[in-house]
Amino acid sequence: MKVISLTSDPVKGKHGLTVKPDLTFAEVKPEEFDCVIIPGGWAPDRLRRYREVLDFVKNVATRGIVAAICHGPQVLISAGLLKGRRVTCVSAIKDDVINAGAEYVDEPVVVDGNMITSRIPADLPYFCREIIKALEKLE
Amino acid sequence: MKVISLTSDPVKGKHGLTVKPDLTFAEVKPEEFDCVIIPGGWAPDRLRRYREVLDFVKNVATRGIVAAICHGPQVLISAGLLKGRRVTCVSAIKDDVINAGAEYVDEPVVVDGNMITSRIPADLPYFCREIIKALEKLE
C-alpha cells in the first residue's frame, strides 16, 4: 500500500496523526495499482482541483477498485466517474453526487461493481470489509 | 446587518476573528431581509445540510439579493437556486456548480440578476462593491 499526496510533505490528519507520503501524484504509475482509496475530510476539496489526481483515479477505475468515504466522492465527481452509479457519501455532498448523475443511498457502505463508498468515519468497519473482499476477488 | 448562524455560539473564523451571531436560523424572519450574503470557508458545507438554512435563502431569493463567495455557492446548489444562472465560485466546486445547471465563469465577480458571486478572498473588493450597488438600487 502506498500513500500518495500532492507533495512529499508530511500530511497531518485532524486527530493529529502524521503520515509521510510514499509518492506524489506526479511520480505515481497508475498501472501499478489495483485499487485507490480516497479518504474524507477536507483533502478531497483540494485533490479534486488537480488534473494528475483525476487522471490517476480514472486510470485505476478502468481495471481496479475505486473506494471513497465521507467527502471522498468529491474526487469521483470531478473525475466524471459517478454517472449512473449507486453510491453514498457524507450528507453534505449528497446533492452534488445526485447532480453528477449518481443514485444516492443512505447506507453504511454501497458496493456498485468496482466502486465502494461509505458515509462517515463510523462506517469504516463496513467500508474496510468491502474493500478487503473486493481485493481478495482480484487475486 | 445581522449575523445568522445555526446556534447562538460564537463563531471563530480561520484568521482568529470571533463573531457572536445576532440570530439563529430558527429565530430569523426571512421577510425582514432584502439580502443574504453567504461567506466561504468550510461553513457552507455545514449550512447546506439544514432545511431551515435552505428555506431562509430561498425565501430571500424570491424578492432580494443573494450573494455568495468561495464555497458559499454550495448552499445555493442545495437550495436549488443555480439552474440556468451565470455564477462563479472557488475552483474546487466548479464541477458541482456546473452539474447543478449553472453556467460557470472564472471572473472576480459575476452579477446575474439578483445573484452575486465571487471566487476567493482576493475578490472581496469586487464582491462587496457589487453588493453595495445592488442594495442601493433596492432603496
Q: Is position A89 annotated as part of the catalytic site?
A: no
Per the structure, the count of domains in chain B is: 1
Q: Which of B12, B130, B102 is nearest to A99 (CA)?
A: B102
Catalytic entry in A15, A71, A89, A128: A71
For residue A42, the chain B residues in CB contact (below 8 A) are 42
Model pLDDT for residues B32-75, shown as the tens digit of each residue: 999 999 999 999 999 999 999 999 999 999 999 999 999 999 99
Tell me how close the Cα of A133 comes to any Cα of chain B, in angstroms.
32
List residues of B with catalytic annotation: 70-71
Cβ <8 Å between A48 and B95: yes
In the prediction, which pLDDT does A30 show?
94
pTM above 0.90, yes or no: yes
Among candidates B77, B92, B99 on the partner chain, residue whose Cβ is nearest the Cβ of A45 = B92
Contact between A119 and A70 under an 8 Å Cβ cutoff? The reply is: yes
DSSP letters along B8-39, please?
SS-EE-TTS-EE--SEETTT--GGG-SEEEE-
State the DSSP H helix or E strand holding residue A26, giving kind and residue range, or none if neither. none
CATH for A70: 3.40.50.880
Nearest to B95 among A77, A92, A95 (CB): A77
The reply to whether residue A95 touches residue B100, judged by beta carbons under 8 angstroms, is: yes
Residues of chain B with Cβ-Cβ distance to A48 below 8 Å are 92, 95
- Among A78, A91, A96, the residue with its CB nearest the CB of B49 is A91
Specify the residue for cell string 443573494: B66
Taking phi first (over 0 means left), then psi (-120 to 50 degrees means alpha), and beta for anything else, what does residue A66 get? beta
d(CA B65, CA B56): 12
List chain A pLDDT tens, one digit each, 139 residues: 999 999 999 988 878 899 999 999 999 999 999 999 999 999 999 999 999 999 999 999 999 999 999 999 999 999 999 999 999 999 999 999 999 999 999 999 999 999 999 999 999 999 999 999 999 998 7
Q: Is the pLDDT of residue B13 over 90?
A: no
pLDDT of residue A14: 79
The range of the structural domain enclosing residue B107 comes to: 4-138
Could you tell me where the DSSP H helices lie in chain B? 43-47, 51-61, 73-78, 94-99, 124-138
Residue A43, phi then psi, degrees to nearest 5: -60, -40
Task: Determine the pLDDT at residue A36.
Answer: 98
- Residue B111: predicted pLDDT: 98
Per the model's pLDDT, the better-predicted residue between A11 and B96 turns out to be: B96
